[in-house]
Amino acid sequence: MPSPFVGEVFTFGNPDGSEVTLRGWGNQFEAVFETLDGYTVVQAADGYFEYATPEGGGESLVAGGSRVGTVDPETLAIPKHLRVTRVASRIRAGQARSAMGPVPRWMQRRQEEQARRNAQQPPGLQQEAGPDGPGAAPPSGSTTGDYLGLVLLIDFSDFPQSISRQEVDDFCNKAGYSGFGNNGSAFDYFRDVSDGKLRYRNHVAAYYRAAHARTYYTDPAVAYGTRAQELIREALDSLVASGFDFSHLTVDSGNFIQALSVFYAGSRSNAWSQGLWPHSWALASTYSVGGGRRFSDYQITDLGSQLTLRTFCHENGHMVCDFPDLYDYDAVNVGNGIGHYSLMCFGGQDKNPTQVEAYLKHAAGWSSNVTTLAAGTTTTVEAGRNDFLIHARNAAEYFIIENRQQSGRDAALPDAGLAIWHVDVNGNNSNEQMTAAKHYECSLEQADNRFDLERRVNGGDVEDLYGGAAATFGPATTPASNWWDGTASGLDIEQVSAVGAAMTVKTRATGAQWYSALAVDSVFTTHHGQNGWASLSGLGWRKIQTGAPDGVTNMLAVFTVARSKNLRVTVNADTTTVFQTYL
């Protein structure tokens, strides 16, 4: 889905040609708008914008009969900042999503990868530990190398092109591009944030003149997305008829062309979620271009008077990299995801968007150096490189740490220092509850412990990251370094250096301990029996030490008997490994 808009100012038209200026929060599926002085507004059935009133105990907001700009809202005795309930907002967003038709191909690829991973391992155990401790390996579908997408340019008889094809080509592909004040091209952005591992370019087609005037496609009476997809198919028909060779465009394993971006001439003229309002999704039915190749996913937006990077890169993060949205797209007025700390959430500035955070960089295969945090060590992590520190429970849940500074592509960051990310790939950034059952896929451990992001207070502030006064993170700090189920993770950072381009992290020295009277919750072994794990009450999963003095097979037998007969065991274990056991 497109980048969310957060307090963005819009100008919408009334049927009589008058205009209203509103501030909005939301995305293509759910949104809320207010006048600049804070009164909530909805569009009435006759197309005019009116002050909202609540209905059904906050289940909906309806037009109250007073048009914006024709009456002083203070005389209406309505409160400011009206919102529907969280449940109602989620229902409306879900209905809007369903109305758009089949889900995009990039979502399907993510679902397939998740199903593949979960089918291979039992719950709570996602990956065998490596020689340096448990890992959190990138998924098999890493996004590296050369990728090529397609950009369609469309103008109309009543809105001819105002930005040249060459300008759009430069915006997409030219190294060092600075047009309209952007910090580089889209190619530059993905090259930089991937440490040179992704080279993403676009073929920019010549302008296609639409078959109808723009008013045909912006008709608000036609279901949202319908005319946009009609316009896209028109442009593709024209490109096919011209003999264009689609074979050089990048496809996925199902032969779907991964990235289709569409720009149309002029500024957006529709109100939210109508006509050609910018959005991204999948075509109602795939579009075949021969050779087994076909289109499904697309994004479409207006050219306006300038080109900007943030939304274009966000959408291509979906289509090319399978990146999820890291904001709450199921509702408004709930959580703020990870705010301005990632392109895939609020993303900072339009012309200089912030970087993708460490979690998705690592998932895309863009890590340049990953250091497993061991107890009793001091490690340096530098900003401006994809150098990460990691402490993993398994491949699904882990902490990943990076150094973020307010410069270059991160100039718009709310804070500088060490960003400590708590990842659970089976979570969802629409779940802001911070409980074992419902939590984010990627959450920022906010050093001030206020969790303003989850509580929708802001998109980040100067007390979120670690360094200087915020120098510790462990089992006794707030926030604590526990796993989502409440068990101790074993991560204990006792000192973070002052904030700077190079920062050091010192972990507390800990060793194996004896634990008594533990229940064995589960046992797992590979098919050849050479590797085994046990899930122990209060500790969680631990790998049986390869080459353990008591033998892996013997220890597995002890754990299996204890579990089947409900006996308690004593173990010698650290945060990742069990070394000895007896009944």
Residue 334 or residue 65, greater confidence = 65
Q: What does the pLDDT look like over 344-368, one tens digit per residue?
A: 999 999 999 999 999 999 999 999 9
477 vs 494: CA distance, rounded Å:
10
Q: What confidence category does residue 436 fall into, taking pLDDT thresholds of 50, 70 and 90?
A: very high
- 284, amino acid identity: A
Share of the chain above pLDDT 90, in %: 73
Predicted pLDDT at 531: 85
Provide mean pLDDT across the span 164-168: 99
Res. 11 pLDDT band, cuts 50 70 90? very high
Look at the block and give the residue holding tokens 């889209």: 186
Report the pLDDT value the prediction gives residue 132, as an integer from 0 to 100: 33
Q: CA–CA separation, 90 vs 57, rounded Å?
A: 16
The pLDDT mean for the chain works out to 91
pLDDT of residue 31: 92
Q: Give the pLDDT score at 264.
A: 98
What pLDDT band is residue 383 in, cutting at 50, 70 and 90?
very high
pLDDT tens column, 515-572: 888 999 999 887 666 788 999 998 888 889 887 777 888 999 999 999 999 999 988 8
Task: Give the global pTM.
Answer: 0.86
Inform me whether the pLDDT recorded for 21 exceeds 50.
yes
Cβ–Cβ < 8 Å for 317, 366: no
Q: Which domains does the chain have, with CATH numbers?
A: 5-82 (no CATH), 147-321 (no CATH), 335-510 (no CATH), 513-582 (2.40.50)
Please tell me which residue, 410 or 490, carries the higher pLDDT value. Answer: 410
Q: Which pLDDT value is given to residue 208?
A: 99
Lowest pLDDT segment from 191-200, 214-223, 521-530: 521-530
In angstroms, the CA 449 to CA 458 distance is 14
Rounded-to-integer distance, Cα 13 and Cα 48, Å: 8
Token pair for residue 184?
A: 């580089």
pLDDT band at 401 (very low <50, low <70, confident <90, very high): very high
> What pLDDT sits at residue 515?
84
* Residue 438 vs residue 334, higher pLDDT: 438
Mean pLDDT in residue range 41-46? 95
**Can you tell me whether residue 31 is helix, strand or coil?**
strand
Q: How remote is the C-alpha of 258 from its chain's centroid?
A: 18
Q: What is the mean pLDDT of residues 377-381?
A: 95
pLDDT at 125: 45
Q: pLDDT, tens digit, for every residue of 52-86?
A: 999 988 899 999 999 999 999 999 999 999 999 88
Helix (H, G, I), strand (E, B) or coil at 563: helix
Write down the pLDDT at residue 32. 94
Pairwise CA distance, residues 150 & 140, whole Å: 25
Q: Which amino acid is at 148?
A: L
Q: Summarize pLDDT for 99-155 with one digit per residue, the tens.
A: 888 999 999 999 888 887 666 554 444 433 332 333 444 444 689 999 999 999 999
Flag whether pLDDT at 41 surpasses 80. Answer: yes
| pLDDT score of 121 | 55
**Secondary structure element (H or E) that encloses residue 49, with its range:** strand 49-55
**Chain centroid to CA 262: how far?**
22
Residues in the chain: 583
Q: Is the pLDDT of residue 237 over 70?
A: yes
Distance CA 115, CA 383 (A): 34
- pLDDT value of position 573: 86
Asked if 270 and 321 touch (Cβ cutoff 8 Å), the reply is no
